[in-house]
Amino acid sequence: MRSYVILIAFGFAVSYLLTPIVRSVGERYTVGQKVRARDQHKSPIVKFGGVAIIASFLAGLALASQLRFFNGIFSNPEPIIGIVLAMLLILVLGLADDLFDLRWYVKLAAQITVGLIISTHGILIQSLPVGSWEIDYKWLQILVTVFLIVLTMNAINFSDGLDGLAAGLAAIGAATFFVYSYILATHVSAEDYANVGALLCSLLLGACLGFLPHNFNPANIFMGETGVLAIGLVLSVSAIAVTGDVRGLEAQRFRNIPAYMPMLLPMVIVFLPVLDLVLSVFRRLANKRSPFSPDAKHIHHKMLAQGHSVRRAVILLYIWAGTIAVTVVSIAFIPVELVWPIAVLVFFGVALATWKPLVVERWSALRVKFGKKSSGKLP
C-alpha cells in the first residue's frame, strides 16, 4: 500500500503544480474566444487542463517503473507501451479539438484508434469472468475492448459540464476502483499483489485530486477534451485489466455477483454520465440532430434549472456517484444484507436533497393556487 500512497501523493503534487503553468501558457490561446450559449461561465477559460493530468499520469508511471513493488507489471512492457502511445494520441487529439473544434466523426475515428492501440498491445477482454464464458475469437475480443473504451471516454465527456464535475467523478471512480482492485489482488496472490488496475487508478486519482482545486467552482481552468478522454481511457483499461484477475480466481465468493464487477464498475462509476449519454442520443435523434451535437439539456443543466447552485449540483452528483460505486463494490466484500439497508437510507437522503428545490417550488405553487381559490368572499 505504501507504494500506491507514494504514487497518489506524487501525482497530486505534479498535477497541482503543473496546472497553473498550463493555464498561463494556454491563456494566449483564449484571446478572442467566444463563450458558447450552453456554457456556465461568462468569460473564456483555458481548456488545456488535461495536459497537466496526462503529464502527471505519465510522470507517475515513470516513477512506478523505478519502484521494486511494481517489477512484475513492468517485466512485460508491451501493455504499458500501449497505454503511453494511446495517451500521446489523446494529447494530440484533445489539443486539436480544443483549438479547432474537430468534426464528430474525426474524434470518433481517433477514439477507435485509441482502442485499437490498447487492444493490439495486449490489453484485451478475453473472457467475461462469469462461469466459463470465454471470448474465443481475437477479432471479437478487440471489438468488445474497443467498444468499452470508446463508450467510457464518451460517457466521461458528457459529464464535463460543470466546474469540477468530471474531475471529481473521476477521482471518486478511481478511488473506488483502486480499493476494489487492490483487495482483489491480495486474494489473487499474497506474495505479489501489484495490480495494473490499481496502479492506473492510483495515478489517475493523484492527477485528478491535484487538478481539482484549480477546476472547482469558480474554475480558472478546464480539462478540455484531452482530460476527459484520458480519464475515460484509464478507467476502461483498468476494468479490462481486472477481468484477468477475476478470471484467474476460483474462490466461490468471487465467482457470483462480484464476478461482474469488472464490467459493472466502469458503468457504475459513470452511471449518471452514461444515463445522460443515452438520453442525449435519443433526444437528439428524436429532434433529427446528430447524436454528437452539443446542447444544454444534460442532467447537470436540469439541476441548475431546478434551483441548485453550481457547487451544490456538483456536490450532489459527487454523492450520487460515490453512493452507487461504494454500494456496488461493498457487495463484493460485505454481506448483502448489511449493505442494502444502509444504501437505501443514503439513496433516500440524496434523492431528497436533489429534488428538494423542485418539491418546494411545486408545493409553493399549489399553496398559492389553492390559497387564491379559498380566499374568495362569501356572498
Binding residues for Mg(2+): 157
Residue 226: count of CB within 10 angstroms of its CB: 27
β-sheet bridge partners, residue 134: 127
Q: Which residues contact 206 (CB under 8 A, 6 or more apart)?
A: 7, 8, 9, 10, 11, 12, 14, 15, 56, 60
Can you tell me the distance from the alpha carbon of 203 to that of 54, in angstroms, rounded to the nearest whole number? 10
- Number of Cβ within a 10 Å radius of residue 78: 10
CA distances from 140 to 127, 145, 216, 247 (A): 10, 8, 41, 18
Distance of alpha carbon 42 from the chain centroid: 26
Residue 126, Cβ neighbours under 10 Å: how many?
17
Q: How many CA atoms lie within 13 A of 26 on its CB side?
A: 24
Q: Are 35 and 61 in contact (CB under 8 A)?
A: no
Query: Which residue ranges are tagged as binding site?
Result: 157
Rounded to 5°, angle at Cα 26 from 21 and 53: 60
| Amino acid, single-letter form, for residue 339 | V
End-to-end CA distance of the chain: 81
Grid cell digits, residue 43: 468569460
Q: What is the DSSP secondary structure assignment for residue 134, as one 8-state letter?
A: E
Beta pairing partners, 127: 134
Q: Are 306 and 358 in contact (CB under 8 A)?
A: yes
Instruction: Tell me the β-bridge partners of 161.
Output: none
Task: Pull the grid cell for residue 164.
Answer: 469540477
- For residue 121, give the C-alpha cell: 498491445
Strands in the chain per DSSP E: 127-128, 133-134
| Residue 280 identity | S
